[in-house]
């Protein structure tokens, strides 16, 4: 290994850097835990971000903007799915049930 300018090897320098990172992370965690114990933080209540609630908010926005409703979307999707199924059945030479 080639020594660095201060006479350390690259491996020694890496170990020192990793130790410094660990010390820094420990200091940050200690300060965080101290602040947490003292209640020295602002509590923020976030909106829920599960799929259903986000989807409901997005559809409400679309409705407000006049871009359609969720029920209209489902009906349009059902019609498209039926049309695709009918087309696929024609290609296979079969009739579809309704």
pLDDT mean by block of 10 residues, the chain; 98 residues:
68 94 97 89 78 90 93 93 90 69
pLDDT score at 1: 47
pLDDT score at 2: 55
Q: Which residues contact 57 (CB under 8 A, 6 or more apart)?
A: 47
Instruction: Provide the residue ranges of all domains of the chain, joining segments of one domain with +.
Output: 1-43, 51-92
Q: What is d(CA 37, CA 14) in angstroms, rounded to the nearest whole number?
A: 34
């Amino acid at each position: 290994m080639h020594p660095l300018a201060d006479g350390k090897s690259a491996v020694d320098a890496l170990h020192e850097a990793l130790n410094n990172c660990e010390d820094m992370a420990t200091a940050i965690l200690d300060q965080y835990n101290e602040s947490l114990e003292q209640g020295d933080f602002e509590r923020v209540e976030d909106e829920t971000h599960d799929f259903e609630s986000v989807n409901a908010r997005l559809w409400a926005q679309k409705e407000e903007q006049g871009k359609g409703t969720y029920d209209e979307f489902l009906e349009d999707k059902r019609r498209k799915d039926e049309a695709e199924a009918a087309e696929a059945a024609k290609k296979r030479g079969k009739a579809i049930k309704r």
